[in-house]
Structure 1
């Protein structure tokens, strides 16, 4: 790999203020030095031709939902891997690892070397909780980046078996119908607690077949609905009014709506007990597992 000095760029040019160093030994336009794609490219440049992006970094490139601790930002480390037999990269701003990567586990995405979507998802199993991993998998299936069968196959091909139990549990919970990470996480909490499996993004129609609403999660047998509402549902007055009208119309059809907010997900036992009581009121006779 050539360098700027090798092709005659003077050191004084490299030290000018319009250039910045995302990592030691590489320069980028200062205006773009904190850009996620630029940082990924720079990390690959300083790590050698066999380096590939992996884990949360690859997941972000593919557009998968990630918890705040792993979302791209100026201070978020770039995750990359070198092949077995190498020494992991040790450099500020880079989290390096050594992985056994068959050639078909690697691809190029946005002109960057990275693990394939299915391999990326499997490698996330050691970094994400089960609900977070399912949310990432739901988005991957919805974007048609891979199939459930491919995820299962790649999981079995990995030489590193870490996280395999979580992967197998997550595979049984994936649903491409889910449209948001919080819907996915809520669905996982419900199913793992022994409640009936709800249908994601189900359409509700009235007795004349007229479309009424598409709801986040529907316990079809019991006429119970779970709706996850982000903060804008509370702070936007017009949205709040639409929610009330929609909820009234659903309840006029004999359905019952439980609204779930971020605070509810911080206390899962209380939320699950409330859902279980509503289901029991409508005939569910199962046992809640907390």
Structure 2
């Protein structure tokens, strides 16, 4: 950043880039969007993502996006010494930005980290009636789920909803011997005991994790659940077909 320096041998993290951008603004900018969500604890924000500032300066350096937007009282806070949009304002900004799927993914991550209240964001939106993107925001808020623990879980949930399945529950507890949760299922439908889970790379690369996954899957099936495992190589239509087959089989028994 202009007039902001870092040892050139270091590869800056997103947090360092955010701080640098804020210092470049003379501490006048308000950190917003995905940058703010990361500071609020949201995961899965790429280190190379654009740093977003609400500030009246259109001549931003590379890697920084500035916007001149209205901020009302109560929409800005101090966090770790930085000026940042509140969780609710951050959600308001993330949900308005297309495409819809990415907006929901961002909101899921923020909700997972902060458990913000949907109604609080809707109330904030009512104070900005002429802001662009309100229609998308409304749709995105309807589909937010703090139970998503990765962008791929969000993708999988939306895939199933868009295919016409009822909205699945997330983080479904599977009780152990003493009545306490032993495992949590990514998503599924408790009434027909159908679970759908996304397995990331860590499940295949770690031997210890692989062994734990085998034990977990055996427990899930002994408990009477039908379990569908989705991997990165699986295509959306194939996933929908597999879930549909299991759904039809299970519902025909009722």
Q: Give the drift of 1:87.
A: 4.2
Q: Give the drift of 1:277.
A: 1.5
1:89 aligns with 2:59: yes
In structure 1, C-alpha distance between the alignment counterparts of 2:59 and 2:128, rounded to whole Å: 21
In structure 2, C-alpha distance between the alignment counterparts of 1:144 and 1:44, rounded to whole Å: 23
State the partner residue of 1:80.
Answer: 53
For the residue of structure 2 that corresponds to 1:25, the secondary structure is: coil
1:181 aligns with 2:151: yes
In structure 1, C-alpha distance between the alignment counterparts of 2:53 and 2:246, rounded to whole Å: 47
- Aligned in 2, Cα 1:210/1:114: closer, same or farther, shift over 3 Å? closer
Query: After alignment, is 33-42 or 245-254 more displaced?
Result: 33-42
In structure 2, C-alpha distance between the alignment counterparts of 1:80 and 1:147, rounded to whole Å: 24
The correspondence for 1:62, drawn from 40, 48, 61, is 40
Q: TM-score, normalised by structure 1?
A: 0.75
RMSD, matched Cα: 2.9
Q: Write the deviation string for residues 15-62 of structure 1: whole angstroms up to 9, x where unpaired.
A: xxxxxxxx1223345566824333323322332453211122212222
The correspondence for 2:46, drawn from 71, 89, 113, is 71
- Matched pairs, number: 253
Q: TM-score, normalised by structure 2?
A: 0.84
State the partner residue of 1:20.
Answer: none
For the residue of structure 2 that corresponds to 1:170, the secondary structure is: helix
In structure 1, C-alpha distance between the alignment counterparts of 2:160 and 2:233, rounded to whole Å: 16
In structure 1, C-alpha distance between the alignment counterparts of 2:86 and 2:221, rounded to whole Å: 45
Contact map agreement 1:117 1:145 (CA 8 A) in 2? no
Q: Give the drift of 1:211.
A: 5.5
Contact map agreement 1:222 1:284 (CA 8 A) in 2? no
Segments of 5+ residues of structure 2 without an aligned counterpart are none
The correspondence for 1:115, drawn from 82, 85, 105, is 85
Contact map agreement 1:107 1:116 (CA 8 A) in 2? yes
State the partner residue of 2:107.
Answer: 137
Larger Rg: 1
The 5 A counterparts of 1:144-159 are 144=114, 146-158=116-128
Q: Write the deviation string for residues 86-109 of structure 1: whole angstroms up to 9, x where unpaired.
A: 442332332122111113211122
- Aligned in 2, Cα 1:170/1:127: closer, same or farther, shift over 3 Å? closer
